[in-house]
Amino acid sequence: MFSFVEIAAAFGGGLLGAALGALPAFIMTGVLVLANMTDMAFGPYFGPHISFAGGVAAAAFATKRGLESGKDILTPLAKLNDGYVLLVGGIFGAAGLLVQKLLAGFGTPTDTVALTVGLSGVTARLIFGNGKVFHGYSLPDSKTAIFLVALGLGVGLISGYAAIVTKNVVLGFGVAATTLILVQFMGVGPVTHHIALPGALAAAATGNIWMGAVFGILGALIGDFFGKSMNSGDTHVDPPALTIAVLTLIVVLFLK
């Protein structure tokens, strides 16, 4: 199922993800998807369950060693000049590989990479954060709700169309992950990979672009729920990953 060499590589990937910072590492995932280098994008080098998850865990740990916020996934943690922070990233990177392989081996009917990212974030909070996983949730106001529906509709349609035409369900995901460079350098920008991927999967499974739109809207709304209920704590628990895991489960169980 996996080898010592893979585990060692994932340790290196998690360490690198911590050094780069979680979000910069994930942006590289998007770039590699667009370059059609999926082995690097989802393997030990920049697999989100390895490099991004390692960066998230390292940031949670780093609050005890000089980082202002455990939710800071933008700062390259090499800035801290602290090898222990990087080692935490490596440990979570190796663990991410093991967990994802086990979930896939058991036939878990969802995106096991996304599920592993979510579980890794929860684990990091339990170990390094305040341990509180769930927080209160308030429904979005009308302005925000309209924005979420519009964003989900647009991204779901275009990602669904791309999946049907190109037969590539991760193309929209790659575009969405790459455009997070706006968030990295400008502090604002749409986060849409949890909209693009479910929309593409649903459209590809049914051959219907409108199903992509439906799942795109669901992705936007569910992502808002996870963002407010689980990512409002003192460390990062990734709303897009949890959203992708939930909606992929629905696609696998009911649309395929």
pTM score: 0.97
Task: Tell me the percentage of the chain whose pLDDT exceeds 90.
Answer: 96
Q: Would you give the DSSP letter of residue 35?
A: T
**Can you read off the two tokens belonging to residue 122?**
């929860």
**β strands within the chain, DSSP E:** none
Q: For residue range 178-234, what is the model confidence (pLDDT) as tens digits?
A: 999 999 999 999 999 999 999 999 999 999 999 999 999 999 999 999 999 999 889
Residue 256 has pLDDT above 80, yes or no: no
Query: Using CA of residue 219, residue 224, residue 229, residue 234, what is the dihedral sign?
Result: positive
For residue 11, the model assigns a pLDDT of 98
**Can you say whether residue 44 is alpha, beta or left, with left for phi > 0 and alpha for psi between -120 and 50 degrees?**
alpha
Residue 44 has pLDDT above 80, yes or no: yes
Can you tell me the mean pLDDT for 14-18?
A: 98
